[in-house]
Chain A
Amino acid sequence: MVAVHSRLDRLASRTLGGHLLLALGAAVLLLLLSTQIGAYDNYNLTAVAIFAVAAAGLNLLTGLNGQLSLGHGALMAIGAYTASLLLKDHELPVVLVLLLSVLSTGLIGIVFGYAAARLRGPYLAGATLTLAVALPQVATRYKSIFGGESGLTVPPTTPPAWLGPDFPPERWLAWIAVAAAVVTFVLLANLLRSSAGRAFRAVRDNEAAAALAGIDVARTQVLAFVISAACAGLAGALFAYWSGVTAPAGFGVTLSLQLVTAIVIGGLGSLAGAVWGSLVLVFVPSLTSGMASTLNVPSAIANNLPLAIYGGILVIAMLVAPHGIQGTLTRILTIGRARWGHTPAGGQKGVVDWDDPASDP
């Protein structure tokens, strides 16, 4: 117990400066990493960063505020289409495109947020799931604007001249995505430490008690939705650059469900959990398809084995590690510290909770 307390104290004392330092360290490490790996791995690194942004936003909404969204893929679509439409006729700086995408998704998030704040549990799940199914159809329907089934092509971002003529564009995109993810995480980590973060949790734990404590429950829920939507918008815009084309098929129900999977497998309610979850999303399928292709089995089996394994992993993970990766790690660390009675000094990259582990459900 003592060890846990000292850990909490340490966490509580971590301030904006601390977050920034940690973030800067992570960013530098990742950027260095990106120079050491090939195009394909940079591509994967970008994907991890993108999913981490979206999953962090969803984790704020679902894990910390208790609103289950099965339609976050649709919000990513809004970000992606915003970016693609902006880039259709103009050449705009990446930062501007990303910011405008965040803005547009956030604005639409206000509308959805007000609707969502009235709904609970499975009803919210049903409404957001329908959103995930319906929104891509709008893009199909209004062909002249959204390009129909084939979608809109997105021109790649060219690395700036000062990086030299041979700088690989995949690495440049990875840098952008990693930078965006790090900024997002710093902002979210500070938000969660603020009174808004406490309000999110209070509403999740007990709406009636939160209301009695003077928290405006509906406003808190809308705020959580808007922030979460903004993250999804950012992820969507990055996704547009990453895939080079924005089409309805890329934003089906599967994407939304993958994001929910990521936060539950990673660890509900913690930002680190979002990172774990996106690592799982990106690497487990590629690992399993790699495995399946080395096996000497008929193609009907080899083609479907990755999905079967993925589904099996979800089932088994929920049976054996119901608190997700982050929750399980936190437990192991807590038990370990309590047993050996010492606190490892730093050096626990990737296992850091950016928010309060005691709040994990």
Chain B
Amino acid sequence: MSRFFVLSLNGLTQGAIYAAMALALVMIWRATQVINFAQGAMAMFTTYLALFAIDHGVPYWLAFLVALSSGLILGAIVERVIVRPVESAPPLNVVILTLGLLLFLEALAPMLFGGQIRSFPPAFSIVGLHFGNSQVAFSPFDAFTLGSVLAVMVLLLVLFQKTDLGLRMRAAAFNPDVSRLLGIRVGRMLTLGWSLASLVGALAGVLIAPSLLLYPTFMDQVLVFGFTGAVLGGLDSAVGAVVGGLLMGFALSYVGGYLGSDLETVGALVILIAVLMVRPRGLFSRHRLRQA
């Protein structure tokens, strides 16, 4: 099997995870104009919670649900307790706030769950599938990763585009003042936006944990690549986030495969700068309507 094909498959799976992280960041950006640097740390925390559940004899799928639902709750708490009070503060203050939360969670996790590096079980085998005599570098777990990211994205799409709740959430994000005049409880919508975003982040966490191993900073890199993907796509666009995340996955896989793994991030930087020099607001930005 050609090298290119292997790298592409690998890039696709990694890209799906970066896309999920990018989507989480974009959802929060669109709802509250905040870059949530603690997104990765929050996902790390919920993954630890899932592992904690597994350690206590909870079956994998239930633990999976623990991760997702604790993501929902954690997102709501963070928005209500930490982000809401600084709603009108300068953007940089909110950046520092999320950085503070990142450090806090990364310190809290080892206190609660122990500091040693842990392995996290995959839902399915991570051994490549067999087709006839040949084995491809694509495992059942990779298929599960792709499938679940895709499923969550479709669900979100349906929620935002087809339901009244989604319509309210979009309205609240676009124009909170007008939305309030229309009787929309904007505060709740923003909380819900954070909740859903951190659910997506939590999904990324449990999906990447088996291949990265679990330690307090294991999501940092995923956050950076997800953020790069989001910026690449254009922070205002959910489609952009997904495309940007996938692009990051492919690019990192090719750079790593052909040029050496220690150049991965340099490759990411070069691509990002190249794109931003041509389109300073990302690939899918629409220069219009509203200044951020």
A and B touch in the complex (CB under 8 A): yes
Which positions in A face B, CB cutoff 8 Å? 62, 68, 115, 118-123, 125-127, 129-131, 133-134, 137-138, 140-141, 253, 257, 260-261, 264-265, 268, 300-301, 303-308, 310-315, 317-319, 322, 361
CA distance A133 to B227 in the complex (A): 12
Tell which of B85, B107, B221, B231 touches A122, judged by Cβ atoms closer than 8 Å.
B231
Given contacts A140-B262, A314-B103, 4 further A-B contacts (CB under 8 A): A62-B92, A123-B231, A303-B115, A308-B107
* 12 A-B contacts (beta carbon < 8 Å): A115-B273, A115-B276, A118-B277, A122-B35, A125-B95, A126-B228, A134-B269, A140-B262, A268-B90, A303-B110, A314-B100, A314-B103
Q: Which residues of A contact B227 (CB under 8 A)?
A: 126, 129
Residue B11 interfacial (CB < 8 Å): no
A318 near B228 with CB under 8 A, answer no
CA distance A128 to B99 in the complex (A): 16
Residue B268 interfacial (CB < 8 Å): yes
Shortest CB–CB separation between residue A249 and chain B, in angstroms? 13
CB within 8 Å for A130 and B224 given contacts A118-B276, A307-B106, A311-B103? yes
B97 near A315 with CB under 8 A, answer yes
Shortest CB–CB separation between residue A180 and chain B, in angstroms? 27
Shortest CB–CB separation between residue B252 and chain A, in angstroms? 11
B260 near A127 with CB under 8 A, answer no
Q: Interface 1/0s, chain B 95-122, versus A by CB < 8 A?
A: 1110111111111101100110000000
CA distance A261 to B260 in the complex (A): 33
CA distance A123 to B230 in the complex (A): 9
Residue B176 interfacial (CB < 8 Å): no
B282 near A123 with CB under 8 A, answer yes
Shortest CB–CB separation between residue B168 and chain A, in angstroms? 25
B115 near A310 with CB under 8 A, answer no
CA distance A230 to B112 in the complex (A): 43
Q: Within residues 139 to 155 of chain B, which ones have a CB less than 8 A from any CB in chain A? A: none
B276 near A119 with CB under 8 A, answer yes
CA distance A318 to B83 in the complex (A): 10
Shortest CB–CB separation between residue B71 and chain A, in angstroms? 20
CB within 8 Å for A127 and B231 given contacts A300-B111, A301-B111? yes
Q: Which residues of A contact B82 (CB under 8 A)?
A: 315, 319
CA distance A281 to B110 in the complex (A): 23
B111 near A305 with CB under 8 A, answer yes
B224 near A129 with CB under 8 A, answer yes
Q: Which residues of A contact B103 (CB under 8 A)?
A: 307-308, 310-311, 314
Q: Tell me the number of A-to-B contacts counted with CB atoms below 8 Å.
A: 152
Q: Which residues of B contact A313 (CB under 8 A)?
A: 100
B99 near A260 with CB under 8 A, answer yes
B265 near A134 with CB under 8 A, answer yes
Residue B241 interfacial (CB < 8 Å): no
Q: Which residues of A contact B102 (CB under 8 A)?
A: 311
Residue B266 interfacial (CB < 8 Å): yes
The 3 nearest A-B residue pairs measured at CB? A314-B100, A311-B104, A311-B103
Determine the residue in chain B with the shortest Cβ distance to A304: B107
CA distance A134 to B92 in the complex (A): 23
Q: Which residues of A contact B104 (CB under 8 A)?
A: 307-308, 311-312, 314-315
Q: Interface 1/0s, chain B 189-211, versus A by CB < 8 A?
A: 00000000000000000000000
CA distance A276 to B92 in the complex (A): 18
Tell which of B96, B263, B276, B281 touches A141, judged by Cβ atoms closer than 8 Å.
B263
B107 near A253 with CB under 8 A, answer no
Q: Which residues of A contact B231 (CB under 8 A)?
A: 122-123, 126-127
Q: Which residues of B contact A134 (CB under 8 A)?
A: 265-266, 268-269
Tell which of A121, A129, A131, A253 touches B91, judged by Cβ atoms closer than 8 Å.
A121
CA distance A311 to B105 in the complex (A): 8
Q: Which residues of B contact A121 (CB under 8 A)?
A: 91, 292
Shortest CB–CB separation between residue B40 and chain A, in angstroms? 11
Shortest CB–CB separation between residue A303 and chain B, in angstroms? 7
Q: Which residues of A contact B247 (CB under 8 A)?
A: none
B100 near A315 with CB under 8 A, answer yes
B35 near A304 with CB under 8 A, answer no
Q: Which residues of A contact B289 (CB under 8 A)?
A: none
CA distance A265 to B92 in the complex (A): 11
Shortest CB–CB separation between residue B173 and chain A, in angstroms? 16
B272 near A130 with CB under 8 A, answer yes
Determine the residue in chain A with the shortest Cβ distance to B231: A126
CB within 8 Å for A311 and B100 given contacts A123-B276, A133-B224, A304-B110? yes
Shortest CB–CB separation between residue A217 and chain B, in angstroms? 14
